[in-house]
Amino acid sequence: MKRIFLMIMAIIVLVPAGILATQYLHDPGSNELSAPVTDAAQQVARGNYLVRAGDCMACHTARGGQPFAGGRVIPTPFGDLYSPNITSDVATGIGSWTANDFWRALHNGKSKDGSFLYPAFPYTEYTKVTRTDADAMFAYFQTLPAVKQPNKEQALRFPYNQRILLAGWRALYFSPGVYQPDRRQSAEWNRGAYFVQGLGHCIACHTTRNTFGASEGIGLAGGLIPTLGWYAPSLTSDAEAGLGNWDKQHIVDLLKTGTSPRGTVFGPMAEVVRQSLQHLTDEDVGAMAGYLQSLPHTSPPAAVREMQVKGSQAEDVLKLGAKLYRDYCIECHKASGSGIPPAYPPLAGNRAITMQSSINPIRMVLNGGYPPSTEGNPRPYGMPPFGPVLTDVEVAAVVSYIRSSWGNNAALVSPVQVSRYRAVPE
């Protein structure tokens, strides 16, 4: 018995120690050296473009703060994280870093001192970035004005504030590796895959996450963004935002301008278009569109009624919803639900309205929203917030009416759901 006990104790101690040692000491790709640079100005310009593609400013700039100086709160189910300063300041930014340090962060998810980075920084996707592109990004960051702004302490709950535990998370959910082109596909397809899977880190939002915050299931099959209170729809299911039957130019228009004849972006995606995608070339966005269209089609999740009501109750809900629609919505979206696209999107047959999750239409009615202001759509039309003037019961009624009219056949929603998402997202 004593021998068995000692063996069990040895396993309990040695296995975690081995995982910890492996994660700390093993740095795949660390032997990959920077390529010689013949045109430093061109490298910086390339880095600027790639930083845009990675949407780095979105997280590393606090509202009203200096660009890239960090301090933006990133709420997570485990507590709040604060983005770090990545300007060229030596004391508080990454001015003392080397290109190798930056490559290590993107490729292996480790800071300059070797400590594990929290995966709110999407190194799980950035690991696909090539060394040449990582060096270009670093060269650009080193040209940014130095902003002396100390980084805030992270505010995660115990035990999530113990970085050492990330060794286990990484062993389970992180496999470093640069994107490897698929030789069966065209150069354009691979270019699109490189941006979508890597710098674009689309999977970070458009997939479900497990209890430990790791992406799971089929990539880009949709998922709730719990920290923002929005649902990122499936890009592979025609019941949600599947793009397989879209005209390719319409996808390019949506990603570059925020609007197209087939849809309009709102919520967190509006920020992505405004700060990142609109600045990419038509060729690169076209490559992304082609790659997204090629993804295997997936079936929508099994239908689950979000609200069970008796016939008479449903009639009362829809009657109230119809009245509210006439009072607040009909001028823009018309009695037929056809809208006036692209300024006022149609509601009839709109998959953003009819998909299983009702979070986004609830958010839109409560908080309103505008497509992003972009070069291709500098003065977008928007929707005002109705949360201040409508009760939870009324919001639930009008959303239910929209989801079940003009041939739409989605589940009714409840006031409880509305109350859950009434808070204005960050």
The pLDDT score that the predictor gives to residue 303 is 45
The pLDDT score that the predictor gives to residue 221 is 82
Contact between 390 and 398 under an 8 Å Cβ cutoff? The reply is: yes
> Nearest to residue 56, comparing CAs of 46, 68, 64?
68
Contact between 353 and 264 under an 8 Å Cβ cutoff? The reply is: no
- Cα atoms found within 13 Å of the Cα of residue 373, Cβ hemisphere only: 2
Rounded to the nearest 5°, which phi and psi values hold at 324? -65, -35
Q: Which DSSP state fits 142? A: T
Q: How far is CA 176 from CA 23, 27, 107, 113, 207, in A?
A: 11, 9, 6, 19, 19
Q: How far is CA 385 from CA 55, 232, 266, 361, 382, in A?
A: 27, 21, 13, 12, 10
Let me know the angle formed at the C-alpha of 124 by 65 and 83, rounded to the nearest 5 degrees.
15
Distance CA 233, CA 223 (A): 6
The pLDDT score that the predictor gives to residue 232 is 86
> Could you say which of 3.40.640.10, 3.10.580.10, 2.70.160.11, 1.10.760.10 is the CATH number of the domain covering 311-420?
1.10.760.10
The pLDDT score that the predictor gives to residue 123 is 94
Which residues, at least 6 apart from 251, have a Cβ–Cβ distance to it below 8 Å? 243, 260, 289, 292, 293
- Residue 229 region, left (φ>0) first, then alpha (ψ -120 to 50), else beta? left
Contact between 41 and 29 under an 8 Å Cβ cutoff? The reply is: no
Contact between 50 and 137 under an 8 Å Cβ cutoff? The reply is: yes
> 187-294: which CATH architecture?
Orthogonal Bundle (1.10)
Alpha-helical runs (H) found in 116-206: 123-126, 131-141, 166-173, 187-194
The pLDDT score that the predictor gives to residue 17 is 57
> Nearest to residue 274, comparing CAs of 144, 126, 125, 377?
377
Axis crossing angle, helix 187-194 with helix 282-294, rounded to the nearest 10: 90
The pLDDT score that the predictor gives to residue 10 is 47
pLDDT (tens, 9 = 90+) of the chain, 426 residues, equals 555 544 554 444 445 555 556 654 567 767 777 888 899 999 999 999 999 999 999 999 999 999 999 999 998 889 999 999 999 999 999 999 999 999 999 999 999 999 999 999 999 999 999 999 999 999 999 999 999 999 999 999 999 999 988 888 898 899 999 999 999 999 999 999 999 999 999 998 888 888 888 887 667 888 888 767 788 888 888 777 777 778 899 999 999 999 888 778 888 899 999 999 999 999 999 999 999 999 887 765 544 445 555 566 888 899 999 999 999 999 999 999 998 887 888 899 888 888 888 999 999 999 988 888 899 889 888 899 999 999 999 999 999 999 999 999 988 999 998 998 887 554
Report the chain's C-alpha Rg in angstroms: 24
Distance CA 314, CA 87 (A): 56
Distance CA 379, CA 360 (A): 23
> Nearest to residue 173, comparing CAs of 208, 205, 215?
215
Contact between 404 and 309 under an 8 Å Cβ cutoff? The reply is: no
Report CA 250 to chain centroid distance, whole Å: 21
Distance CA 41, CA 46 (A): 9
Q: Could you tell me the two tokens for 7?
A: 């063996």
The pLDDT score that the predictor gives to residue 94 is 96
75 bridge partner residues: 80
For residue 14, give the 3-state DSSP assignment. helix
The pLDDT score that the predictor gives to residue 1 is 58
Q: Could you tell me the two tokens for 264?
A: 């309009």
